[in-house]
Amino acid sequence: MPDRNPVRIGVYTCHCGTNIAATVDVKALAEFAAALPGVVVSREYKYMCSDPGQDLIRHDIRDHDLNRIVVASCSPHLHEHTFRTALKVGGLNPYYFHMVNIREQASWVHENKAQATRKAKDLVRAAVCRVALHEPLERGRVAIHPDVLVLGGGIAGIHAALTLANAGKHVYLVEKEPTIGGHMAKFDKTFPTLDCAACILTPKMSAVRSHPNITLLTYSEVTKVDGYVGNYKITVLRHPRYIDEDLCAGCLECLEACVYKQAKVPDEFNMGLGKRKPIYIPFPQAVPQVPVIDPETCIQFKSGKCKKTCIEACGERHAINLQAEATTQEIEVGTVILATGFRAFDAARAPGYGYGRYPNVYAALEVERMVNASGPTAGEVILRDGRRPQAVGIIHCVGSRDENTNRWCSRVCCMYSLKLAHLIKEHTGAEVFNFYIDIRTPGKGFEEFYQKLLTERVHFIRGRVAEVTDWVFDPSEDGKLVIRVEDTLAGFVRRIPVDMVVLATGLEPRADAPEVRRLFNISCASEGFFLERHPKLAPVNTFTDGVFLAGCCQGPKDIPDTVAQAGAAAAEALALIDAGYVETEPNTARVIEEICCGCKTCNSMCPYHAISFVGEIHKSRINEVLCKGCGTCVAACPSGAIRQNLFEDDQIYAEIEGILTHA
Amino acid sequence: MPEEFQPRIVAFFCNWCTYLAADLAGTSRIKYAPNAEVVRVMCSGRIDVQFVLKAFAQGADGVLIGGCHPGDCHYQEGNYKALRRYRLLQRLIRQMGIEEERLRLEWISAAEGDRVRVVINEMVEALQRLGPLHKNGQAQERLMEVA
Amino acid sequence: MQRELKLQREADPEWARHLSERPGCEGVFSCLQCGACSGSCPLSIYMDFTPRRIIALAREGFRKEALRSKTIWLCASCYSCAVNCPRQIHITDVMYSLKREAIQFRLYPKRFPVPILSQEFYKMVRRRGRSSEFWLVLRLALRSNPLMLLGMLRSGWDLMRTGRLSLKRERIRDTGPLSRLTAERKPLPARGLAPGEVA
Amino acid sequence: MARSYGYFPGCSLKGTGRAYEESLLTLFRVLDLPLAELDDWNCCGATSYMAIDETAAFGLAARNLALAQMAGQQDLLAPCSACYLVLRKTQDYVGRYPAIAQEVNTALGNGNLKILNSVRVRHPLEVLYMDVGTRRLSEKMQRTWHGGPVACYYGCQMVRPYTEVDRAFNPTRMDELLAAVKVPTVDYSLKTKCCGGSLTGTTHSVGVELNRILLKEAVRKGAQAIVTVCPLCQYNLDAYQSEIRRITREHIEMPILYFTQILGWALGGDIGSLGLKRAISGRKTIGQWFTETRVEKEAYA
């Protein structure tokens, strides 16, 4: 209900250091505001968001008995909450407040001080007109379902899931592939410590499997998301594995028994360098320890004429069911952590480097598998023809820092290239050449690792490779791959013959990122990675409450950063869960029954089915719990019978007038 | 040389996409014309036909509506409703003798900071070509009737 | 011992800015100095400065160094640099722009054939609308190095006997627009001219 | 009724590049695709003009575009890579820089010629690949190749910086066209390396060296001839072989053909009107390869 006391407005202009003050004449702005109708106090201060700044507001509320507050500073997305809390502490209803964005929308985007100040004045005038019409509002509360969905079973998802599970929360860990482990499971060693990836990852993987609080759904995808923070309904599609996870003991005798005596299908986990059977387990430490049948290559699925030796081998357990079909499962959670990871840049998109044209040009992940003791070559670094390379060239920034492909720096390539350089030299004793634009080692122990490589006599040539070719300019190059590059430090162009070329491909968003983004109603940054709520202050939050980000789906990062972020995301989720409820914004819509003519126009407008038609009184009614406050129905109502808190028509009219009244 | 005409634009930006794009433009220090002033609404679906007419009646030379790309609406389909009303409005203002270029609808996602610059600058140029709306007497009368 | 030292007063940042505003030259300030251009250039190995270093010189405002280099004349406009550049800089156009300036201010090695060819070609086409290879080569040789003709006897004869050498002087009917075009030509502003340099 | 293509020969095709024009006309005749030579066309400006006066350079090309437009042509064929690039680049820059468009227009305007970018500048290679297609070529094939494997040389300005004709890296359309008429090609890594253009005339030694490299690598890859798409490339590779032999004592002697000559021959064009006699190097080989041999049609029982 509107309060009767005369409006007494306080206007506070923030300098934001010089961020605002440099381009907007804050003094003039404050004086201008002081003269506006209803304004009792108008001040400018260096940092309104700081404690002294907020105290200023509180004291004025007390001393000048203000009942409306306007702060002209930064974006409401940054500090609206801060100031509303200040009002609350000052004993005023937090919704007697309006924020004016004179930083992102004035001082930072305009150069002419006069014009920027003029615009700031208009905006402040608009806010003053608007706030006068504000009414006190109360936030609603929604209980939070304690279970959590973690999407993606790489190191990020695994770590987040374990953190939550150890805190006693139930976690659904959904993974697209038949096993968890993600990219990290493919690595041999990790930089800069060179400790073995498997040794630090597999214990966590088995912990996931055995944890009572974790429901592991591998080979599965989320296909539908309903609800909102606190109460999400998630539909999960489970692809058929053709082997029952509960019945299978993981003896793997079915693999032995397969009619294919020799593995002949290119093995995805080994980047096609190795072979697998139609019935297979991605890698020995896979979790769950349950094989999967690939219907594309299994004879039974292709021709229906197979001895089904696998089923025989399984015997009494009857774990194998070739009739199995995809199933869907509904789960209810309160919060979601997205840890969907990245996709490695496709080296074929850098045509000058001959990937796919010259057999001995490899992408980094292929070499990762090669140097891995349990990889397709048992740790041997060899060429396609089995020879050992005598000289290897590692080309940095493939698909990164390039207007023709991806603009961004992928952050990990420098370090993994150094790691591969070290491992290749160690395994083969070959001469190793690194071709780089800049070496970026901003991390604990990174620079030291670089130094170590330099002393190991690995060559570092500063120059972006122009091309990899088999063109023989000099007899010494016969049968080699030649790397042509300007050695920008030596100052001349060089041709360097090598046996093997490794392309340090960058990281890019997964192909399915846009779908995931839409499912969970979050945003992507221009390059396609998921967008965090604030680059510094809310790096794991999204603009959708209750949905958090972990790992490379938010942007390229290395393992330690990924794990740290996963922990942070888990903590954010826990904070919500343990609070037990979330406060909802009061900007919901309501029907003024006296005016409603029962035309039902609004009923179809609401995507949340919050509007129902009450037959007996022949009027529509809005369920405030379901209403998300978009205001679409308000704009649609022909008789103006629907009103929206905080976005009342007259408030917006006042704002428009305020903007357009010439000073 | 005569002072160049500075059009006034009222911009209705949705809270989740276009307003964030404007924030991004700010944090990236992208410079654009100071002629557009933003009214924040939760969703472009909230934008009432009356808001736009009111803005014109109050002396705006142009009105810009910014929402999420189709399919990306934070409220699922508010932007489609906005699109419908925009089409209606285009017909309406044409009948009132207001040039269509004075009303513009743009889908600008949170990632498209530079798009804000492009759109607003384009619009300012267009309006400078058209000149002030209040010079258009007929339109003024009609506006007074409806708003 | 030869001393190599550059003083900042020898640089002309204004010129660099001006260069960066010419069509096709916008990118110079976003150059990474990665060397992809020089690496892919088939002629960089003959140049006194690699294309990358030309960009470095240009954007630091070392006008004379850039304009006097052989590099800009060796550029055969094959555009490898442009398609390889991770910043999509139109390096070929930068070279063209430098050539234009060097010719306008006569900042090229004396009797150096490439600019002479350009000028002869320019004259011929402006006057007649088409170029006639035989006469073009003849004028080039006479103005740069007449001995050149001796070396050309063989290929000249080859062309003659295969009927590929036309002594006809091609010409178009309507040369009006062409002369108007060349009349349009507006010279680049004279910047940082050393005494003795004529514009 | 096949639609006709506007045809911009450019200066070289009337001189050193005659064989290219002759074979091109023959090829398009056997494909019955009419070519309409642009009336009163002028020099495209090539690379040299740009080095003197940008506006004029664009203006020269623009005049041709305008002529084509007024002649009502939708496509303008430019067989010479340099011509193709200059015309294509002019359209690009006139579109991108209003200032340039303005100057060029005022200059041409008086001669009531307006630049119109509606004309599509095209290279014969791309026309044959897109409009005719490999399938039709193999169907129309009249003679079977009994010559050796060839190296397809695309050069620079046809594939860079504009990539409508083919990819900038490892283009393959010429190889595909030749494969369609059963001509074996080798994997030639230098297919887009520069021939030096006019450098053979200006900084001779450098220009010749570039061509030596191109020829030598072709030999190493087992090619017995090089196929080109540009009069300047053809001339450079063709004219200096004897000189290269003299300097390097390497025995290099191979025909440098135009792709239009091979296709024209394979499709049954009159051997006399393919300009084959205009070759300087490898004349003997050419004589042996380009003979009257018909495809033996399999008899169906």
CATH code at position D77? 1.20.1050.140
Calculate mean pLDDT across residues A466-494.
Answer: 94
Which of D122, D155, D183 lies at the terminal end of a domain, its last residue?
Answer: D122
- Residue after which a domain boundary falls, among D122, D154, D186: D122
Q: What is the mean pLDDT of residues A526-548?
A: 92
Residues of chain D above pLDDT 70, percent: 94
* Position D55 confidence tier, pLDDT thresholds 50, 70, 90: confident
Q: What is the pLDDT of residues B71-93, one digit of tens each?
A: 888 888 899 999 999 999 999 99
**Can you tell me the mean pLDDT for D78-93?**
95
Residue-wise pLDDT tens digits, A577-616: 999 998 888 999 999 999 999 999 999 999 888 999 999 9
pLDDT score, position C191: 59
* Neighbouring C-alpha atoms within 13 Å toward the C-beta of D242: 12
Pair D207, D236 in one domain:
yes
- Model confidence at A4: pLDDT above 60: no
What is the spatial distance between Cα A286 and Cα A289, in angstroms, rounded to a whole number?
6
Higher-confidence position of A351 and B3: A351
Q: Which two three-digit tokens encode residue A283?
A: 């890698």
C33 shares contact with chain A (CB less than 8 Å): yes
A86: helix, coil or strand?
helix
- The tens digit of pLDDT for each residue in A97-126 reads 999 999 999 999 999 999 999 999 999 999
In a domain, D13, yes or no: no
Residue among C32, C34, C79, C88 with most chain A CBs within 10 A, to mutate:
C34
Which subunits sit against A, judged by 3+ Cβ pairs under 8 A?
A: B, C, D
Lowest mean pLDDT among C132-141, D186-195, D290-299: D290-299
CATH class of domain segment(s) A589-645: alpha beta
Mean pLDDT of C152-177: 87
Q: Are D236 and D243 in contact (CB under 8 A)?
A: no
* Model pLDDT, residue C193: 45
Q: What is the pLDDT of residue B146?
A: 76
B112: chain A residues, CB-CB within 8 Å:
526
For the residues A150-165, what does the mean pLDDT come to?
98
D247 and D191 in a common domain: yes
Regarding whether D261 and D210 lie in a shared domain, the answer is yes
Cβ of residue C71 closer than 8 Å to a chain A Cβ: no
Task: Find the residue in A nearest to C80 (Cα).
Answer: A466
Residues of A in contact with B75 (CB under 8 A): 607, 628, 630, 632
Residue D295 confidence (pLDDT): 65
Query: Cβ–Cβ of D45/C125 closer than 8 Å?
Result: yes
Residue with tokens 């490892």: D170
Residues D292 and D147 in one domain: yes
Whole-number Å distance between alpha carbons of D13 and D48 = 18
Q: Determine if the peptide bond prior to A192 is cis (ω within 30°).
A: yes
Per residue in D210-225, pLDDT (tens digit) is 999 999 999 999 999 9
Give the model's confidence band at C198: pLDDT under 50 very low, under 70 low, under 90 confident, else very high.
Answer: very low
Torsions phi, psi for A352 (to 5 deg): -60, -15
Residue of B14, B37, B120 to mutate when probing chain A, most A C-beta within 10 A? B37
> For residue A529, which of A512, A554, A550, A558 has the smallest C-alpha distance?
A554
Asked if B22's CB is within 8 angstroms of A104's CB, the reply is yes
- Please report the number of interchain residue pairs, chain A to chain B, with beta-carbon separation below 8 angstroms: 137
Same domain, D94 and D166: no
Can you tell me the distance from the alpha carbon of A528 to that of A150, in angstroms, rounded to the nearest whole number? 20
Q: Are residues D153 and D117 in the same domain?
A: no
Question: Is residue D136 in some structural domain?
Answer: no
Average pLDDT for residues C64-89, to the nearest whole number? 94
Would you place residue A526 in the very low, low, confident or very high pLDDT band (cuts 50, 70, 90)? confident
Chains B and C physically touch (3 or more Cβ atom pairs below 8 Å): no
pLDDT of residue C196: 42
pLDDT for residue A3 is more than 60: no
**Three-state secondary structure string covering chain D:** CCCCEEECCCCHHHCCCHHHHHHHHHHHHHCCCCEEECCCCCCCCHHHHHCCCHHHHHHHHHHHHHHHHHCCCCEEECCCHHHHHHHHHHHHHHHHCHHHHHHHHHHHHCCCCCCCCCCEEECHHHHHHHHHCHHHHHHHCCECCCCCCEEECCCCCCCCCCCCCCCCCCCCHHHHHHHHCCCCECCCCCCCCCCCCCHHHHCHHHHHHHHHHHHHHHHHCCCCEEEECCHHHHHHHHHCHHHHHHHHCCCCCCCEEEHHHHHHHHCCCCHHHCCHHHCCCCHHHHHHHCCCCECCCCCCC
Name the average pLDDT for chain D.
91
Residue D202 and residue D232 in contact, taking contact as beta carbons nearer than 8 Å = no
Beta-sheet pairing, A171-174 with A214-217: parallel
What is the per-residue pLDDT across A53-109, written as a single tens digit (0 to 9) for each? 999 999 999 999 999 999 999 999 999 999 999 999 999 999 999 999 999 999 999
pLDDT recorded at residue A1: 42
- CA A551 vs. chain centroid, Å, equals 7
Rounded mean pLDDT of D101-107?
82
Counting DSSP H helices and E strands in chain A, the numbers are 17, 34
A37 by Cβ neighbours in 10 Å (0-12 / 13-18 / 19+) ranks as exposed
Whether A498 and chain C come into contact, CB under 8 Å, resolves to no
What is the rounded average pLDDT for all residues in chain C?
A: 87
The per-residue pLDDT for A647 is 96
pLDDT band at D2 (very low <50, low <70, confident <90, very high): low
Asked whether residue D153 is assigned to any structural domain, the reply reads: yes
Report the alpha-carbon distance of residue A655 to residue D192 in Å, rounded. 63
pLDDT in tens, A207-252: 999 999 999 999 999 999 988 899 999 999 999 999 999 999 999 9
Q: Check if D213 contacts A (Cβ < 8 Å).
A: yes
Of the candidates C32, C38, C50, the beta carbon closest to that of A437 is on C32
The whole-number average pLDDT for the span A631-654 is 95
In chain C, the domains with their CATH numbers are 8-104 (1.10.1060.10), 113-181 (no CATH)
Query: Hey, which CATH number is domain A9-137, 3.30.200, 1.10.10, 1.10.287, 3.40.50?
Result: 3.40.50
Residues of A in contact with C71 (CB under 8 A): none
pLDDT band at A663 (very low <50, low <70, confident <90, very high): very low
Count of domains forming chain D: 2
Whether D87 has a pLDDT exceeding 50, the answer reads yes
Å from A473 to nearest chain D CA? 7
Average pLDDT over residues C27-49: 94
CA–centroid distance for A352 within its chain: 32
Q: Are D79 and D21 in contact (CB under 8 A)?
A: yes
Has residue A570 got a pLDDT over 60?
Answer: yes
CB contact residues (below 8 A), chain A span 566-605, against chain B: 587, 605
What's the rounded Cα separation, in Å, for the pair A181 and A205? 7
Is a pLDDT exceeding 50 seen at residue C97?
A: yes
What pLDDT does C195 receive?
38
Note whether C40 contacts A437, CB cutoff 8 Å.
no
Arithmetic mean of pLDDT, C136-146: 86
Residues A321-368 have pLDDT tens digits of 999 999 999 999 999 999 999 999 999 999 999 999 999 999 999 999
Among all chains, which residue has been given the structure tokens 């509002």?
Answer: A137
Distances (CA, A) of D83 to A22, D14, D143, D157: 54, 13, 32, 9
Decide if D236 is inside a domain.
Answer: yes
How far apart are the C-alpha atoms of C70 and C64, rounded to whole Å? Answer: 12
Closest-CA distance of chain D to residue C118, Å? 5
Output the pLDDT for position B2.
56
In terms of residue numbers, what domain contains D86? 38-122
* pLDDT score at D115: 66
Structure tokens at C72: 């800009």
Same domain, D117 and D150: no
Tell me which chain A residues have a C-beta less than 8 angstroms from the C-beta of B32.
109-110
Residue contact C159–D197, C-beta within 8 A = no
Q: What is the pLDDT of residue C190?
A: 67
B31 vs A75, A109, A662: nearest CB: A109
Average pLDDT of A164-181?
98
Q: A470 vs D189: CB contact, 8 Å cut-off? A: yes
Q: Quote the percentage of chain A above a pLDDT of 90.
A: 91
Which residue type occupies A501?
A: V
Question: Is residue D100 scored above 50 in pLDDT?
Answer: yes
Same domain assignment for residues D63 and D92 = yes
Q: For residue A2, what pLDDT band results from cuts at 50, 70 and 90?
A: very low
Chain C residues closer than 8 Å to D108 by CB: 177, 180-181
User: Both D118 and D146 in a single domain?
Assistant: no
Nearest CB neighbour to A463, from listed C34, C80, C87: C34
pLDDT over threshold 80, residue C180 = no
At A521 the pLDDT is 86
ipTM: 0.82
Inter-chain touch B27–A110, beta carbons under 8 Å: no
Interior CA angle at C135 toward C133 and C139, to 5°?
A: 115
B40: confidence class by pLDDT, cuts 50, 70, 90 = very high
Chains B and D touch (3+ CB pairs under 8 A): no
D189 in contact with A at a CB cutoff of 8 Å? Answer: yes
The pair of structure tokens assigned to D235 is 């001339």
Residue D203 lies in a domain: yes
Cβ–Cβ contact C35 with A under 8 A: yes
D142 min Cα distance to partner chain C (Å): 28
**pLDDT exceeds 80 at position A260:** yes
How many cross-chain Cβ pairs, A to C, lie less than 8 Å apart? Answer: 66
CATH of domain A343-508: 3.50.50.60
pLDDT at position D232 is 95
pLDDT class for D107, splitting at 50, 70, 90? confident
Close Cβ partners of A637 (under 8 Å, ≥ 6 residues apart): A601, A602
Average pLDDT, chain A: 94
Q: Is residue D157 part of a domain?
A: yes
Q: Between chains, do D170 and A357 touch, taking CB under 8 Å as contact? A: yes
Mean pLDDT of all residues in A152-171: 98
C-alpha–C-alpha distance, residues C118 and C98, integer Å: 14
The partner residue sitting opposite C84, judged by closest CB among A437, A466, A487, is A466
Say if residue D155 is in the same domain as residue D69.
no
Instruction: Indicate whether D7 belongs to any domain.
Output: no
With contact defined as beta carbons under 8 Å apart, do A632 and B46 qualify? yes
| Cβ contact A635–B49 (<8 Å) | yes
> B25, exposed or middle or buried, with CB in 10 Å at 0-12, 13-18, 19+?
buried
Residues D101 and D191 in one domain: no
Q: How many CB atoms lie within 10 A of CB C131?
A: 26
For residue C194, pLDDT over 60 is answered with no
Does residue C4 sit at the D interface (CB-CB below 8 Å)? no
Residue D5 located in a structural domain: no
Note whether C45 contacts A488, CB cutoff 8 Å: no
Residues D52 and D154 in one domain: no
Residues of A near D (Cβ–Cβ under 8 Å) read: 351-352, 357, 469-473
Which pLDDT tens digit goes with each residue over A551-565?
999 999 999 999 999
Residue A4 β-bridge partners: none
CA nearest to B55, candidates B137, B133, B135 = B133
